[in-house]
Structure 1
């Protein structure tokens, strides 16, 4: 793997920032601007307690979607009444195919994320803070970059005020 060209890296970082902002503001209808329809999304829990990694399971749902449509369907409904903010770092990006020149069509990225969620517009009520790493594959299609695979490894999750 090799260094990602500047323009590709900045496009991916910008789109990752958009991912966070769109999720935080419930603008799920804009996600096709940043992710392919065939994008896959999987969220797993991994902690330092010796237990094996496991798919996040909440409210009877495994957080493992084989398409953008399934991912959006779930979060557009469940996050409708949640205030949230996601913060990511600049990420670690590497070309996965090609020779590192601008003709590579796949980038592997890892972004550290910290996120907060809670009852909307209130100082009291439920508050959750989580953290982990997004492991992602980005694909160039028709000259633009799109999220193709997201695998989130959550290693911190605390809920208070329930």
Structure 2
């Protein structure tokens, strides 16, 4: 692997680290800039069922911001498996864990969510930045209380 490829791998890892930080700090404009405008996102439950799907980036950002409003969150990714498919494209799989604690005054079906799973992504290098073009979260464990 040459220096350009190693740099690409590290830049992809850094982009995913920002994904976690921006969502936890609710920095929605910065979070939005990690995706291509035509991103396709899917979220699956533990049994493989499709829970959410987005083809409109702004709808995804708006729903995520609304859902997490006032909550405390932590998102972590581990064990990156990144394959460079060309000089400007890549595929990645990340083990993930998230924990969401909703405010006590929010009426809802549950107060906490703690989950594990894997992100499956494709990325594209555009204007020097690795951007997510597709993202699919497949849960393996989900605990709600």
Instruction: State if a TM-score over 0.5 links the two structures.
Output: yes
What's the RMSD between the two structures over aligned residues? 2.2
SS at match of 1:43: strand
Following TM superposition, the consecutive aligned residue runs of length 4 or more in structure 1 with deviations greater than 4 angstroms are none
Distance 1:92 1:41 in 2: 19
- List alignment gaps of at least 5 residues for structure 2: 105-109
Give the distance between the partners of 2:125 and 2:20, measured in 1 at CA.
Answer: 20
1:37 deviates by 1.2
CA distance in 2, matches of 1:18, 1:147: 12
Q: CA deviation at 1:82?
A: 1.2
Q: 2:4 aligned with 1:15, yes or no?
A: no
Larger Rg: 1
User: C-alpha offsets along residues 35-66 of structure 1, whole Å, 9 cap, x if unaligned?
Assistant: 1111111101234xxxxx2112xxxxxx1000
| Partner residue, 2:101 | 118
Could you tell me whether the CA contact under 8 Å between 2:70 and 2:103 is conserved in 1?
yes
TM-score (norm 1): 0.78
Contact 1:13–1:90, Cα closer than 8 Å, also in 2: no
Which of 58, 81, 91 aligns to 1:69? It is 58
1:83 aligns with 72
Normalising by structure 2, report the TM-score: 0.87
Distance in structure 2 (CA, Å) of the matches to 1:81 and 1:146: 27
Does the residue aligned with 1:11 lie in a helix, a strand or coil? helix
On the 8 A contact 1:34/1:146 being kept in 2, the answer is yes
Structure 1 alignment gaps of length 5 or more: 48-52, 57-62, 99-103
- Count of residues in Structure 1 that have an aligned counterpart in Structure 2: 140
8 Å contact 1:89–1:111 — kept in the other structure? yes
The SS at the match of 1:5 is helix
> 2:49 corresponds to which residue?
54
Provide the residue aligned with 2:26 in structure 1. 26
For the residue of structure 2 that corresponds to 1:91, the secondary structure is: strand
Match of 1:131 among 112, 116, 130: 116
In the TM superposition, residue 127 of structure 1 has moved relative to its aligned partner by 2.1
